[in-house]
Amino acid sequence: MSVMKVLYAASEAAPFIATGGLGDVAGSLPKALSQKYGDKIDIRVIIPLYQNITDRSGFEFAGKTTVPLAWRQQYCGVFKQKMNNVTYYFIDNEYYFKRNECYGHYDDGERFAFFSKAVLFILPMIDFVPDIILSNDWQTSLIPVYLKTKYASYSNYKNIKTVITIHNIEYQGIYDLNIAEDVFDIHGKEKSIIEYNGAINLLKGAMETSDIISTVSESYSREIMDDFYAHGLAKIISSNSHKLRGILNGIDTDFYNPETDSALFENFSSKDIKKKYLNKLNLQMLAGLPQDENIPVVAIISRLVKHKGFELIIHGIEEVLKEKVQFIILGKGDRGYELFFKSLQDRYHDKVAVRIDFNQDLARKIYAGSDFLLMPSISEPCGIAQMIASRYGTVPIVRETGGLKDSIHDCSLGFGNGFTFYEQNPRVLAETIKRGLKVYSEKKDWEKLVEAVMNVDFSWNASAYKYFDMFQGLLTQGEK
């Protein structure tokens, strides 16, 4: 087989811009594929050129054009940079992307419709017509839709295969059907592709038109067959189940490396766990908590939203706070959860420290200085926080769902790499945390567990093979 050409389209990618797990994956998966299969795959990444991508020192101007979107003719500049043997493209349009935040604007639908159209429109200009385009979440869901409609008669495009990866099915790109033509440039019978329950549903359109639907863990691919997890799309998932794949995410273990991470107070390894306690003491000081290496620290690093299990925490945490323990919370999200944690900090100022923020540098300090990471998610497509925490010797406490179930296994029976529970019950959550605290009190057992957790392989090695195999299978099908 000749070199496989893959275009990875996403709304964000580390190290340029990342607001969550998608950015981490878009930054690390293409890199891993290139490192492992560099002579067999040419993988390139394309994202918007946001205002917050400030370091553009290595960027090269690749050209400019005008992209049609319904009645609009919009400027589109293209920049590129090569890093880690991966070529990155950046779509420039200040009207759409010169904003303080990547998401949350009144015209997000139009912004990402433009981006999706631009991805396809510029392919001849950059002289790269891929064999496969992998899109991610609703923001790039229109790429396979446009490919099967606007570009159906283009000879250079007709053999392109498509994959849509769902990182969180809760976010679907739902809009009023009346703006299909004016905003999304979808007309006539084509509207049926993106129509669902009387509205536009961009993710539904991508699932209908893509050749493969992938999710970020095997368990999540099964869970979304149930409407509790599918958020209304179970019927679409079921009718397209033959396309469904589940591949667990990994992390960039070069970037998340306690031996070299410059964000840490002190570097350490699984063979030198004592230095982890220096990170803990410095973290306690930074957080304004009493410095004591014998007090277990439980970290919560998360978006503060309902599906992350915060109702369980609200009703279960005060039972745990009766113990000898400290909590450090980093995140932002729903105002009610932010106010709850601030109130908790006021009432337990010597046990609880809260930072309402998204701060990657501080997050790595917390990963390295804490003893436990708490993730009681009601739904978790994959989650990478539990993997990062493990890399830094911080033992995960998770609810058994999605990628948490696939990556963390209970150690109470003498094996495993964390503490798990299934019931959506605050009492069970509290009991599970207490089980962890009990093991923590047995120092020899605890340090053995920390060492074992640090040595679990959460790199992309195994999953990169599965992606490559999926791509090969897709192209082989096309040859039959």
Amino acid at 412: S
Q: What is the mean pLDDT of residues 100-109?
A: 96
4-250+461-479: which CATH topology?
A: Rossmann fold (3.40.50)
- What contacts 384, CB < 8 A, 6 or more positions away? 21, 24, 25, 249, 251
| Cis-peptide into 15, omega within 30 deg | yes
- Homologous superfamily assigned to 274-454: Glycogen Phosphorylase B; (3.40.50.2000)
Convert the pLDDT of each residue in 382-415 to its tens digit: 999 999 999 999 999 999 999 999 999 999 877 8
Domain ranges of the chain: 4-250+461-479, 274-454
The CA distance from 243 to 232, in Å, is 18
Instruction: Give the chain's largest Cα–Cα span.
Output: 69
3-state helix, strand, coil in the chain (%, to 5): 40, 20, 40
- What contacts 440, CB < 8 A, 6 or more positions away? 296, 371, 372, 446
CATH topology match: 4-250+461-479 vs 274-454: yes
Q: What are phi and psi of 2, to 5 degrees?
A: -70, 175
For the cut 50, the answer to whether the pLDDT of residue 459 exceeds it is: yes
For the cut 60, the answer to whether the pLDDT of residue 140 exceeds it is: yes
Q: What is the pLDDT confidence band of residue 447, given thresholds at 50, 70 and 90?
A: very high
The length of the chain in residues reads 480
Tokens describing residue 399:
């609810």
Asked if 168 and 137 count as a contact pair (C-beta separation under 8 A), the reply is yes
Q: What is the mean pLDDT of residues 228-236?
A: 96
The CA distance from 175 to 194, in Å, is 10
- What contacts 261, CB < 8 A, 6 or more positions away? 255, 267, 364, 368
Judge residue 325's burial from the number of C-beta atoms within 10 Å of its C-beta, 0-12 exposed, 13-18 middle, 19 or more buried.
Answer: buried
Instruction: Produce one character per residue of 438-447: b if its CB has 16 or more CB atoms within 10 Å, e if not.
Output: ebbeeeeebe
Q: Quick one: what percent of the chain has pLDDT higher than 70?
A: 99
The CA distance from 22 to 25, in Å, is 5
C-alpha distances in angstroms, 373 versus 185, 209, 282, 316, 385? 45, 39, 18, 16, 8
Question: For the chain, what is the mean pLDDT?
Answer: 96
For the cut 80, the answer to whether the pLDDT of residue 478 exceeds it is: no
Instruction: Produce one character per residue of 69-88: b if its CB has 16 or more CB atoms within 10 Å, e if not.
Output: bbebebebbbbbbeeeebbb
The CA distance from 470 to 134, in Å, is 11
Q: What is the pLDDT confidence band of residue 480, given thresholds at 50, 70 and 90?
A: very low
Q: What is the mean pLDDT of residues 121-130?
A: 96
Q: What is the mean pLDDT of residues 222-226?
A: 96
pTM of the shown model:
0.94
Which single residue is written with the structure tokens 């139009």?
Answer: 110
